[in-house]
């Protein structure tokens, strides 16, 4: 039996689970917004205790990354991500989760060859291409100005 692109497309549509995109988008928006609102609460509290905006922002990022790593370690972040989807990926907590989960998976291989070598498995391409794009855009901006 020869599989044509049309036949393959039909087979894929039949085998793929139906997605309720309206609920998925709404849930992702609400969860991502809740994470960001929680970050804003932390920022406001820190500013209320006398930190300036820059210091408060730095500590807010550190706290969110740390909480995300702890939640990843206990398996709570993956349970939330299962239902919230992209809502957990976009904030800084998603980046922390990506790095933490890679480190947790590789810990049985040792600190150097396991955790050290594989910690950026998921986040590495994001860092590489993000830094590369920023450099290229910066150079273009520099030479155009």
Q: What is the pLDDT of residues 82-135, one digit of tens each?
A: 888 888 887 788 888 888 877 777 777 777 777 677 777 767 777 778 888 899
DSSP state of 18: P
Is position 132 within any domain? yes
Full domain range(s) for residue 128: 24-144
Evaluate whether residue 83 is within a structural domain. yes
Total tally of structural domains belonging to the chain? 1
In a domain, 53, yes or no: yes
- Does residue 140 have a pLDDT over 90? yes
Residue 59 pLDDT: 95
Residue 66 included in any domain: yes
pTM assigned to the model: 0.69
Query: Does 126 fall in a domain?
Result: yes
Residue 14 counted as domain residue: no
Instruction: Locate 83 and state its tokens.
Output: 């239902």
């Amino acid at each position: 039996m020869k599989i044509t692109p049309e036949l393959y497309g039909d087979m894929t549509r039949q085998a793929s689970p139906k997605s309720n995109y309206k609920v998925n988008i709404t849930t992702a928006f609400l969860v991502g917004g809740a994470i960001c609102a929680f970050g804003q609460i932390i920022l406001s509290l820190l500013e209320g205790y006398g930190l300036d905006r820059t210091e408060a922002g730095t500590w807010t990022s550190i706290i969110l990354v740390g909480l995300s790593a702890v939640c990843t370690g206990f398996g709570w972040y993956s349970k939330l991500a299962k239902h919230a989807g992209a809502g957990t990926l976009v904030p800084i907590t998603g980046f922390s989760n990506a790095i933490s989960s890679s480190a947790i998976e590789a810990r049985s291989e040792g600190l150097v060859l396991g955790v050290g070598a594989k910690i950026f498995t998921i986040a590495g391409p994001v860092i590489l291409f993000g830094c590369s794009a920023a450099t290229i855009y910066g150079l273009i901006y520099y030479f155009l100005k």
